[in-house]
Structure formats: C-alpha cells, structure tokens
Structure 1
Amino acid sequence: MENEFLFESTILRKGKKKMKKIYNTLLSLGIVAMIFSSCSDWLDVRPSDEIKEEFLFETGNGYRTALNGIYRKLSTQDLYGQNLSWGIVDALGGMYNMDGVSSVGGGYAIQKISTRAFKDIELVSTTNAMWEAAWNIVANCNNLIQQVESADTTLFYEGEEERNMIWGEAIALRAYIQFDLLRLYAPAPSTNPGERTFIPYVDEYPAYVNNKQTVAYCLDHVVNDLKKAQDILKPIDEAKSFRVYDRLEYIASGEDRFLRERGYRLNYYAITALLARVYLYAGNLDMAYDEAMKIIKVQNAKRWFNFTSEYNITDKRNIKFYDDIIFTLYTTEVTDWDLEISYSSEDQPDYSQHYLCWHADKVKDVFGNEGSDDYRLLYQFEEKYWGYRTLKYHKQEEKSTGGRWGNPMLPMIRMSEVYYIAAEAICNKDLGEAREYIKKVKNGRGVSVDLSNLDKNGLVDMIVNDAQRELFGEGQVFFMFKRLNRQVVNYSGSSTSVKREPVLPTEENFVLPLPDSESNIK
C-alpha cells in the first residue's frame, strides 16, 4: 500500500510546489484557520492573505487539498492520532493500568487525567493543544463549506458530483469534531443539564459570535449538519461499492482515485452510523435505532462490513480487524507514537518496561471465562508484567496485507458499534431482536453464547462489557460510561493486592474544564 492511503491527494501533479506552499501556509500559518490563543481570537479573524486563499479555491485541486488537509489534521497526536482515541480519552474511561504507563510520549497526561488532575500544568498543555486543534478544524471546515457550496461545478473533475462530495464530507466533519468537543466539555444529556451553557457550536466562517450554547442546542445542530450531509452524499454513495477490496485496493489513479476510494472516509454510510451514535447519546432511542437499521440492512444485503475471520487475523496480521470499520482516519506515524509510549527492551527487567496495558484483574473481570476464545484478547493483547499490553497500534509486518493496510488506521466507527446501538435502542420493545445483535458481535469475535435468558438490564450490562473489549484504544468507552451515568473503575496494584478505585460520574470527574483562555466565552 502506498503511503498516501485514502486521504492523500494524488492530483497535485502540475504546479505541485506552488500548491504545496499554499497548503502549508493554509494549515500552519492560518490562511483558513488562524492559530489562536482563545475562541474570541479565532472567531473574529479573517485570513491574513486573501490572495493566496483565493488562489487555492480557483481549481478543483485546491478544494481537494483543503479537504485532505482537514483529514490530516484530525489524525495528529493532538486529536484522533492519540488524545481523542487511545490517549487521554481512553484514560478517562479507566482503560489502563497506570502502574505500567510511561511518563513520555503522552504518558504523563494519561496518568494525570486518569486521576482527574485537570489543572496539572503539563496536562493543561495537552488539553489546550487538543482544544485549539479541534477549533482549528472547525474553522477549516467552515471556510471550505462556505467556498465549495457556491463553487462553479466546472472546476471539478466530475462536476457537481465531486463538488457535492467535498461539500457533504466537510459538513459531516464539522459535526463530528464538535460532537466530541460537546461530549468532553459538557455533561451528558442523561444528567439533565437543562439551560446551562457550555461550548459554542460554530457553523460560520468567519464567526463573530462565540456564545456558549446548551447541550440540546449543540446536539440539534450536530444532527442537522449530519442530516444535511446525508442528503448531499446519499445519491453519490448509494451507487458505489464499499466492499473491503474496493475500500483498500488501488485500482484508479489521479483524479479518479480521489473520487473512487472513499470507502473509509466520512461517506454516507459512515455519516449514518455517526448519526445513530449521536441520537443514542441524546437519548433518542427511536431515531438511533432507525439510523442503525439503515446500516444493518445494507450489511445484510451487501456484506460490506463483515467481521474479520480468524484466518485473516493470524495469516494476514489484520489485528486491527479493519473489515468491519466503517470510518477510519489515517496516519503512518501512529505506530511510532505507540512505540514512544510503549517502549521496552529485552535487556530491561520486566518491572522497568513501560507500555499501555489492561490490568490483569480487569481482564479477568471483563472477559470472564470467554477469554480463551475471544479474538480480541487472543490477538490484540499480549500478557506482560504489568498486565495485558495493547497491540492495536503496535506495528505489524508490512509484508502482510493486514500490516500494510492496518498499521496506519485510526478506527472511528465500526459495524460492531452499530449493532450495540441497535440492541440498546430496541431492547425495550423487542428484547429478542436486541439479543441477536449482541450475539452477532460476540460470534464475530469468536465467542459462542446463549443469551436466551438475558433480561434488559443484563443486556445493557453485556453491551458495556463487550464494548470495552471491542473499542479498546478507540476513544468511545469513556463516552459510553458518561452517557449511561455509570462510574469508571481504575485498576492498579499487583495481582495479590489489586486496587479497584471507582470514579463517580459527577461533572467534576466527567466534564473537562474549559481552558483558562476561554473564560471570556459568554
């Protein structure tokens, strides 16, 4: 697989140096989104070089570069390359045994956020960088949306279809990042936050008003953006194939590649899965079920998002189980970041090695007697001194297709989560149907179960249990605990003196404080 993967533009053949200079200026110096010290700064500024921005959007290539730049920025360590996936968000969810975590490579922030030391100076530096990078993405999205929705369709290789593709993805990406900001910096809807306000929802560029909004207001705007993106992209994506082969293999080239290989981007199906996630978080079970069923019906008919077979895991080293991923980001650097925080050497004694791992007693509590069959424990972890080290981002041999394709992936939405959503959303009306969705996930990961006696409460407990196995390192477990208003349990200590420390689901523990520089947000 080439380094460029799915989000890398390959169409900058002519004038490449000139366009690269503009691209770097765009993302590094703030032509689209100024680097800022507070919300009021970035909401009020305009590009410092209107001529360069104007030139960027003179061609279809420029629009592609802008969209690719957004995907690239989302994949950095500040955002989903670490912090919002396997980094501090998973630490908030109690996923790691802190006894084995290194203090380098982001490990210090992981240690501190697990204890809710939100004001620690080094942790503040990490969360501030995350906050700023996220709003930088929002500004980039808003500017691209503003430019592309009125762009002449003759600028684009495939005319209106390509213009709409870029437009729809940009709208969905704007919603995606602001939804996660809301989940971090505001209480869950299930706790009845009422008319209190927490963060803005920004859908204009430049934006001159930076008022904080209620949770309900922000969720309504996330939903509206996603529904609009659905409407734009549905006629484009329903005519395409999203088999694994079509999502991964490079058949096309040049402009054709950018258009055809959208299988892991935020396409119509990924947006629909995301909308199901949003509705479930908002407590709208009927709508969550409806959106999840759209994906399940497609899966039943097309078989696009199948669970990875044990053969493909072992023979092809597909330990990321990418067959059922619906949306993923990409960076070739993630294996380096994993190595930095999970370094070890055969020359070191076991207790001196450091890595991200589950505590051995948590593994026992979560997997129970199913661990010997569950592909997730068998192939995505290795037992070591401090517990079970995660291998999800550990570099696999690239001579295998699983390593070559899977190494750079940052999974954002999986088919398994769609089944979880459908099960939880329908269990009050049809418990039998809900059981089948959970059974499908477990069977797909090598576990045979009889759920015939499982009641509603037991089913939700099983979803919580299985999601911890399934979504380890993907930044979703904490938000599940938060949505359900359940405590997180941090595990530490030796197997003979294990400590299970509950973290209660209070706002003090589950809502990140705004950066001090944002105290002027009204």
Structure 2
Amino acid sequence: MKKTIYSIMLLIGSAFALTSCSDWLDVSPKTEVREGELFSTEAGYRNAMSGVYILLGQKPLYGVQASMYVPEFLAHTWTTPSESTDASAFYLAKNDYTNSNVESTLDDLWSNYYNAIAQINNILTNLQSSSVAFTGNQRQIMEGELYGLRAFLHLDLLRFFGPVPSQTDGATACIPYVKTLTTDVANLKSESYDAVKADIISDLDKAESLLATSDPIVESRASADDPARSDDADDANVDLDDNDIYRQLHFNYWAVIGAKARYYYWIGDKEKAADYARKVIEAKDKAGKQVFALCNEAYYSAHSNANLTMKMEQLYGVYNSSYQDDIYRAYYSTSDPLFTQNEEYVKTAYESTLYPDDIRFKSSRYWKSQMADNAIITEYHFLKYAFNGSWYGYNTVPVMRLSEMYFILFECASIADMKPYFATWRLSRGLDASIDATLTTESAVVSRMEKEWRKEFMGEGQMFFFYKKHNYQAYTWPTAYTVPTGAYQLPKPKSQTMYE
C-alpha cells in the first residue's frame, strides 16, 4: 500500500502504547492522552526508545527489507527467484523499478524509514521540553542516541534513494530531511544533496558531543575474549529498555563515530573517513581495553557453538526476539530457501581454492549443503543467522561492524598507511597477506575490495552500496551483468514526488 510521508506524520503524532514495547505502534483516538502519560516518566521514555529499536529490527526495516532483501537482490547476492516465487525480488534483480511489485516494495521501504524517523522526532521533541527528572546522565544518553539514529537513517535513505555520490553537483533535489513532526506538506519537500549532507553531519556532531561524556561504552566495554563476559548469557533475555547494558543494540557513541566514517566515505572525503574509521579500530575504554575485536579462528575454536554474526565486531546491530521463527526459518532454512546461491558461485566468491582456511567458508561454516525439515532434496543453506546454541549475538542482525571500518580505511588511507591494517584484517579471517605486494594503486585496492566486501557482508546488505559508491557499470559475479543506466538511484514514491 502506497503511503506518503504526510500521512505517516498525521498517523504517528503520538503513536505509543503504555502496555508493552510490542504494541507501542497503537494509534487510537486517545493517543494524545496516552502520549502525555508515556512521556511523564523516565520509564516511559525508555519504553518509547525501546519501541524505536524494536521497529528497526522488524521485517520492514533491518530485520529483512533494508538489509538482506532489497540491497542483496539488487547486488545479486542471492540466486534470483522466479517471478512466480517472488515477483519483487525477480524484478529487483533486473533493476526494473517500474514493476508494480518493486514499486510497492520500495514505497514501503521509504515509508518505513520515515515512520521510524517520525518516532524519533516525537521522542526527541518531548524529551527536549520535558521536566522529568532523569537519573544520572540518562537524558543525555537518550538525546545522543536519537540524534545519531536520525542521522544514520537519513544517511541510509540517501544511499538508497539519493544519487551516485560522484555523479551529483550537490544542488539536485534529493530526499527530505525530517527534523520535526509536521502536517505541513511544504516542510516535507526534498532538500538538495548538499543540504542533506549538512543535516546528517550536524546531527552526528550533536550525537557525538552528547554521548562522548555519557555513554557507558566509553567507560567500560569488555572485549570479546575477556573471561569476565558470559557468552552463554549475553543476549538470552535482551531488555532494550536498559540503556546501560545493551549498548551494541543502542545507537552508542562508537556507532556514531562509525556512522561518521560511513558518511565521509560515502561523500568522498577520504581523509576524514580514514580518521573516523581508525578511531573505531583503535578504540579503547577508560581501562585501556580494546572496545571491539576482530573475529578469528581462535574464537570459533574456543566457542564451538558460536553464532556467526560476529557480535564482538558490531558497532550497532538490531535485535528481533522472533528472529529465528519469523525470519531465519522463513527465508533461509526452508526447503527451497529464498536467500540462497549456487554452490559453485559461492566457492568462486570466497576464492576457496586460494584460501581454504577462510574462517567464514571452511568446514561448511557459513554455507552448507543440507536438507531442510521435511525435505528430500539437498539444498545450499546460508548459516550466518542460524542459532548455534550460544546466547551471545542471538537474534541480532549486524547493521554496522568493525570490518566496515577496516574496509573504509583500506580505501581511504594511503596505501602505505593501510597495509598493516590490511594484513591484520586478512590474518583474522584466515587469509594470508600474500597479495599485499599487488596493492600498488588505488584501482588495485578497489578491485580487491570488491571481492572482500562481497565475502564479508553476505546477508547484511552492504554490497549494493559498494557498487553504487564506485558507480560500477557491470557486475562480474555471480554472472556477468550490465547495470542499466540510472539503476543506482532508487525512485522515490510517486506519492512523495507529487508534492515536489
């Protein structure tokens, strides 16, 4: 169903319920009263914040559509299904945005992003005028998270619906940057590319300033190999109301720094992109412990039941308590799974002959030929999101990871500066550093990174943005494909453009 941002704003004005986070999207004639009650206590604000994070982890956004569905079919990560199996995926893979199924999918993606942004603006507006006495620095943490999330979601909208960054003069109308709840359609017109960029970095700057002195992750964050952490209990019963513990599932300080690296990488400011990426890579807490650690074979060997989403690397991830039942089984583990790929193509992608010890591919770790329940045919299943028995990283989808920071640094730092980091990252993945000598030019680095982005971020929705960032004219994997002119800028809904 097509929706406009205008209709979303009218509906969302006070769309919160008090009974639980799961029904917080309740919209009723009594919403003004319910909102007043919700924002009368710190617990109410926590509940509202939790509701935003729950929304982001659902199917319409990072649970499926914004991560493993739309961008992955655009990048040909998965085998293209038949039209009768999934018409939207079939035509997405052809970059046919005129198809009614694709049009509906993209309209819904747009609307769901702005729905989430409306919720953020609603909380932020109330928070900034609130007389509630918050404990400690909780007000500051919430405000920082809200500014950071608002910027981050607009950045992803820009990456989806904006122009190829190297192909715009900056004055072209791009997307709306929505900072307030409004019913004035004139306020929802798209801003220029340059204006959107300015708004994104302004919000990220505010978030960084607020969280730098308040976020618990800055003070203390046990590294992945710290024996003080209980891998068997970390995410068993996630309570997103808890602002102090589940920092990787909240838009924390380091997520803001990572978002700045992603932002500067996207707009082509290499120096700043490399600086912010390096800050994350080298981040330490006040005790001098490394905040994020690269996953490696030693970790998997020590934790035979480890989940494969590399939680220790996640700057920010979304949580969905029903993920295994509603998403993994539905898309990955069924007979004839929608998210799959030809085994030989996957072997080619992982360069399995050259690198048999790749920790993501060896021993059928990420990909395995097996039968689904009640099936009689062996099929190729992607296991990144399967529950392996550990609660650490359970039911989470990575949205931004440490590896992305390394990859940004590889492309944006000088070749001499990036090589030690490149060797560190490759060794963590069970790859030798033998190709270092071939990385003598910027084009050689980008060519190598095409392969690395593909291997590293399968199922996470990043490959399409790599292609768009570099304006690839053709894909060579899984098969040769010429990208149609204009395919990288997804069309805004007609219900939006009619007001512009």
> When the two structures are superposed, what TM-score results if normalisation uses the length of structure 1?
0.81
More deviation, 310-319/406-415: 310-319
Q: Conserved in 2, the CA contact under 8 Å of 1:145 and 1:167?
A: yes
Could you tell me how far apart the structure 2 residues matched to 1:488 and 1:386 are? Answer: 32
Match of residue 270, structure 1, among 255, 274, 280:
255
- Tell me what 1:444 maps to: 428
Q: Aligned pair in 2 of structure 1 residues 434, 79: CA closer, same or farther (>3 Å)?
A: same
Could you tell me how far apart the structure 1 residues matched to 2:64 and 2:139 are? Answer: 31
Residue identity (%) = 24
1:434 maps onto 2:418 in alignment: yes
Q: Aligned pair in 2 of structure 1 residues 229, 92: CA closer, same or farther (>3 Å)?
A: same
Q: How does 1:124-273 map to 2 (within 5 A)?
A: 124-152=103-131, 154=133, 156=134, 158-159=135-136, 161-206=137-182, 208=184, 209-237=187-215, 238-244=218-224, 245=229, 249=234, 257-273=242-258
Contiguous gaps of at least 5 residues in structure 1: 1-16, 32-47, 346-352, 493-498
One-letter amino acid of the structure 2 residue matched with residue 172 of structure 1: G
Aligned-pair distance for 1:256? 9.4
Could you tell me how far apart the structure 1 residues matched to 2:344 and 2:240 are? Answer: 51
- Tell me what 2:283 maps to: 298
Q: Aligned pair in 2 of structure 1 residues 162, 463: CA closer, same or farther (>3 Å)?
A: same
One-letter amino acid of the structure 1 residue matched with residue 457 of structure 2: L
Match of residue 408, structure 1, among 377, 388, 395:
395
Could you tell me how far apart the structure 2 residues matched to 1:291 and 1:51 are? Answer: 43
One-letter amino acid of the structure 1 residue matched with residue 110 of structure 2: W
Could you tell me how far apart the structure 2 residues matched to 1:25 and 1:374 are? Answer: 43
Aligned-pair distance for 1:364? 4.4
Aligned-pair distance for 1:57? 0.4
Q: Conserved in 2, the CA contact under 8 Å of 1:327 and 1:414?
A: yes
Could you tell me how far apart the structure 2 residues matched to 1:303 and 1:370 are? Answer: 31
Q: Conserved in 2, the CA contact under 8 Å of 1:359 and 1:386?
A: no
SS at match of 1:413: strand
Q: Conserved in 2, the CA contact under 8 Å of 1:91 and 1:113?
A: yes
Report Cα offsets for 1:489-512 as digits up to 9, x if no partner. Answer: 2767xxxxxx522225x32x1111
Q: Conserved in 1, the CA contact under 8 Å of 2:161 and 2:490?
A: yes
Could you tell me how far apart the structure 1 residues matched to 2:96 and 2:378 are? Answer: 23
Aligned-pair distance for 1:205? 2.1
Q: Conserved in 1, the CA contact under 8 Å of 2:234 and 2:392?
A: no
Could you tell me how far apart the structure 2 residues matched to 1:19 and 1:437 are? Answer: 48
- Tell me what 1:64 maps to: 46
- Tell me what 1:41 maps to: none
One-letter amino acid of the structure 2 residue matched with residue 205 of structure 1: L
Aligned-pair distance for 1:453? 3.7
One-letter amino acid of the structure 1 residue matched with residue 163 of structure 2: P
Q: Conserved in 2, the CA contact under 8 Å of 1:279 and 1:285?
A: yes
Match of residue 390, structure 1, among 367, 382, 390:
382
Could you tell me how far apart the structure 1 residues matched to 2:480 and 2:444 are? Answer: 22
Aligned-pair distance for 1:72? 0.7
- Tell me what 1:458 maps to: 444
Q: Conserved in 2, the CA contact under 8 Å of 1:143 and 1:206?
A: no
SS at match of 1:327: strand
Aligned-pair distance for 1:30? 7.3
Could you tell me how far apart the structure 1 residues matched to 2:160 and 2:120 are? Answer: 20
Aligned-pair distance for 1:119? 2.4
- Tell me what 2:330 maps to: 340
Q: How many residues align?
A: 460
Aligned-pair distance for 1:386? 9.8
- Tell me what 1:328 maps to: 317
Q: Conserved in 2, the CA contact under 8 Å of 1:97 and 1:386?
A: no
- Tell me what 1:362 maps to: 345
CA RMSD of aligned residues (A): 2.9
- Tell me what 1:318 maps to: 307
**Greater helix content:** 1
> When the two structures are superposed, what TM-score results if normalisation uses the length of structure 2?
0.84
Q: Conserved in 1, the CA contact under 8 Å of 2:274 and 2:408?
A: yes
- Tell me what 1:288 maps to: 273
Q: Conserved in 1, the CA contact under 8 Å of 2:49 and 2:241?
A: no
SS at match of 1:405: coil
One-letter amino acid of the structure 2 residue matched with residue 396 of structure 1: F
Aligned-pair distance for 1:255? 11
More deviation, 76-85/256-265: 256-265
1:475 maps onto 2:461 in alignment: yes
SS at match of 1:382: strand
Q: Conserved in 2, the CA contact under 8 Å of 1:187 and 1:510?
A: yes
